[in-house]
Each structure stands twice: as C-alpha cells, then as structure tokens.
C-alpha cells in the first residue's frame, strides 16, 4: 500500500506527516526534534521496539509506564504522561483513508492521545495499514488486541487460541475503550510518523 497515498489522506485531516524507510531513521528524527520537553508515552510495542525511551531521555524528561522510575508504579507514571508537553504513542490500525484506531484497557493511551498536550506524535509501522476504516477496526480487535494479550501473557481466549477476538468477559480483558480518530483534534499539533517497516503488533 503506497505510503504517499496514506500521507495525503492524513494531511487532508490536519496531521503533519513524515515518512521514514526505517525505524532507526524515525528514531533519530524524533531524538533530533524533541528536545528540552517533558515527554509522555502511551503503552506501545512500537515505541518499545524503537528504544525511544532511551533515545529521548538524554535531552528530555521522559515518563513511560513501561519504564516506571523506582518508587513509582504504573498508575502514577501513566498519570504523569497525561500532562507532558509531548505525548508519543502508536495506533492499532491506520486506514488508507486517513482514520486511525486505538483500543485500550486502562485508558491512559487513548486519553493521552486526545487532550492535555501541546503535541501528540503517532508512530506507525506499515503493518498497521489497511484499506478502510471498517478493516482498521477489525484489525484492531482481531489481530492487534489478541497479539497484545498474548505478549502480556494474559489468560484470555484470544491469547490462548491466538486466532481472533472472542469478545470475552475475562477479568484480564484488555479491550474496553475503542477510539476512532476521524481527524486531528482541535487546538493540537499532531504528527504521524510512518515507517516502511513492520513495527509493533
Ligand atoms: S475482548 Fe477478550 S478475547 Fe477479545 S481481544 Fe480483547 S481480551 Fe482478547
């Protein structure tokens, strides 16, 4: 799927877009352009794979629920992430028509991506691209979420069977809030980093 086509769709919805061939180049760009800021992370396998916590920490104050500082737990760190200058996250799926989709269990990721920051950056690998919004929602629920449940070692039917979502009532269910970004939120500087590599789940 042509990255340039997705880029045009996202730009028409108000986003600034940059395309990179590799995660390494994208990481270097972010480390170069985000400096002297407080930075919050939404839980994201993509950001983890890119090593962005380490890349951004020398020149910024970074809060990441996956790297809680000593004496701080997930809730406290994730709460800090909601009021930083910059918020970084990924999405579970991106439609060629420019809509993005995220699914969240706790809500820190979708909350932080909507409000409370001067800038939000979405980092998205090519594997997240699908033709339509319907397919983006389907991918989010039936591919990204089961893979995430498996990664986390949860006792949910999707993690055990690994094939699709069972809309479970498991106590360990991670699918509670489904968000569709139809366009960029008002009064927000929002950037999408497209990477021509498979990234995240
Ligand atoms: S609702 Fe349950 S079965 Fe479906 S993806 Fe989420 S955790 Fe897995």
CATH number, domain containing residue 23? 3.40.50.10420
In a domain, 129, yes or no: yes
Does a structural domain hold residue 201?
Answer: no
Indicate whether 200 belongs to any domain.
no
The whole-number pLDDT of residue 30 equals 98
Cα–Cα distances (Å) from 56 to 40, 62, 197, in that order, read 11, 7, 21
For the entire predicted model, the pTM comes to: 0.97
| Residue 175, ligand 1, Cβ within 6 A | yes
Pocket flag, ligand 1, residue 168 (CB < 6 Å): yes
On whether residue 26 sits in a domain, the answer given is yes
User: Which domain, by its residues, includes 149?
Assistant: 3-195
3-state class (DSSP) for residue 188: coil
105 lines ligand 1 (CB under 6 A): no
State how far the alpha carbon of 131 is from the alpha carbons of 36, 98, 142, in Å.
38, 10, 16
If one counts the domains in the chain, the total is 1
For residue range 115-139, what is the model confidence (pLDDT) as tens digits?
999 999 999 999 999 999 999 999 9
Q: Which of 104, 141, 148, 173 to mutate to test the pocket of ligand 1 (most atoms within 8 A of CB)?
A: 173
């Amino acid at each position: 799927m042509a990255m340039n086509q997705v880029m045009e769709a996202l730009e028409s919805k108000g986003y600034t877009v940059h395309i990179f061939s590799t995660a390494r180049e994208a990481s270097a760009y972010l480390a170069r352009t985000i400096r002297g800021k407080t930075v919050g992370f939404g839980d994201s396998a993509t950001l983890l794979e890119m090593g962005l916590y380490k890349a951004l920490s020398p020149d910024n104050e970074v809060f990441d629920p996956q790297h809680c500082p000593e004496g701080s737990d997930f809730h406290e760190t994730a709460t800090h992430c909601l009021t930083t200058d910059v918020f970084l996250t990924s999405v579970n799926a991106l439609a060629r028509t420019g809509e993005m989709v995220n699914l969240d269990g706790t809500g820190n990721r979708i909350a932080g991506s909507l409000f409370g920051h001067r800038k939000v950056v979405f980092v998205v690998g090519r594997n997240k691209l699908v033709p339509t919004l319907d397919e983006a929602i389907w991918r989010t629920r039936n591919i990204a979420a089961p893979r995430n449940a498996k990664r986390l070692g949860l006792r949910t039917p999707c993690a055990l069977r690994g094939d699709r979502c069972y809309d479970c009532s498991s106590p360990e269910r991670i699918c509670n809030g489904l968000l569709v970004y139809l366009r960029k939120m008002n009064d927000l500087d929002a950037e999408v980093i497209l990477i021509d590599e498979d990234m995240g789940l």
